[in-house]
């Protein structure tokens, strides 16, 4: 069987996590009666300061920066997750994904300075944060399901 590259698997897991978190952040923005883009503007506070969280609707600078930041950060978490939990089989991987997402939340909100926090909480509130990290947990935990050749690998 073909050997698997954990970095490649991590990239796929990161893309899946980024897609999941992007979708839920946009949906929750819409559900709050805002533009789906507005929570991503808040993410761009890392680059443009706190006023970015007040930008409504699509704005190329803030929205695209927020989308890029979310995608790249979640992508890195996906690679790190695969580096650490790549041998955890499904369904045990669901617990590993939940633990990883809880750790990511802790780092995002308790370790890093406020300037580097995700920012979407400013628009979505605590329930939005909980839903986003729950979906991240699920996407990490389901990662064994999209990998092939898991029985004879060098992970």
80 φ, ψ to 5°?
-65, -40
Query: Which sign does the torsion angle of CA 68, 74, 80, 86 carry?
Result: negative
Q: In this model, does residue 154 exceed pLDDT 70? A: no
Closest to 123 (Cα-Cα) out of 23, 35, 19, 21? 35
Question: How many angstroms separate the CA atoms of 48 and 134, rounded?
Answer: 28
Question: How many angstroms separate the CA atoms of 24 and 14, rounded?
Answer: 15
Tell me the pLDDT tens digit for each residue of 45-94: 999 999 999 999 999 999 999 999 999 999 999 999 999 999 999 999 99
Q: According to the model, what pLDDT value does residue 155 have?
A: 43
Query: Which sign does the torsion angle of CA 75, 127, 142, 98 carry?
Result: positive
Q: According to the model, what pLDDT value does residue 5 have?
A: 84
Q: In this model, does residue 109 exceed pLDDT 90? A: yes
Where are the domains positioned within the chain? 6-32+73-146
Q: Cβ distance 142 to 97 under 8 Å?
A: yes
Q: According to the model, what pLDDT value does residue 3 have?
A: 57
Confidence category of residue 149, pLDDT binned at 50, 70, 90: low
Q: According to the model, what pLDDT value does residue 7 have?
A: 86
Q: In this model, does residue 11 exceed pLDDT 50? A: yes
Tokens 């628009």 sit at which residue? 123
**Residue 39: CA atoms inside 13 Å, Cβ hemisphere, count?**
25
Q: According to the model, what pLDDT value does residue 117 have?
A: 96
Tell me the pLDDT tens digit for each residue of 31-42: 999 999 999 999
Q: In this model, does residue 25 exceed pLDDT 60? A: yes
What is the number of other CB atoms lying within 10 angstroms of the CB of residue 102? Answer: 13
Closest to 41 (Cα-Cα) out of 19, 22, 70, 66? 66
């Amino acid at each position: 069987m073909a050997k698997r590259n954990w970095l490649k698997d991590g990239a796929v897991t990161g893309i899946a996590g980024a897609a999941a978190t992007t979708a839920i952040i946009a949906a929750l923005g819409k559900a709050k009666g805002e533009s789906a883009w507005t929570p991503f503007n808040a993410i761009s506070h890392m680059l443009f300061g706190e006023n970015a969280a007040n930008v409504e609707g699509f704005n190329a600078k803030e929205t695209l920066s927020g989308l890029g930041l979310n995608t790249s950060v979640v992508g890195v978490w996906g690679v790190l997750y695969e580096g650490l939990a790549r041998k955890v089989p499904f369904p045990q991987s669901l617990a590993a994904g939940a633990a990883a997402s809880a750790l990511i939340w802790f780092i995002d909100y308790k370790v890093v300075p406020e300037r580097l926090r995700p920012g979407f909480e400013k628009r979505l509130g605590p329930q939005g944060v909980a839903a986003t990290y729950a979906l991240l947990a699920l996407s990490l935990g389901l990662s064994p399901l999209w990998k092939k050749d898991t029985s004879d690998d060098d992970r």
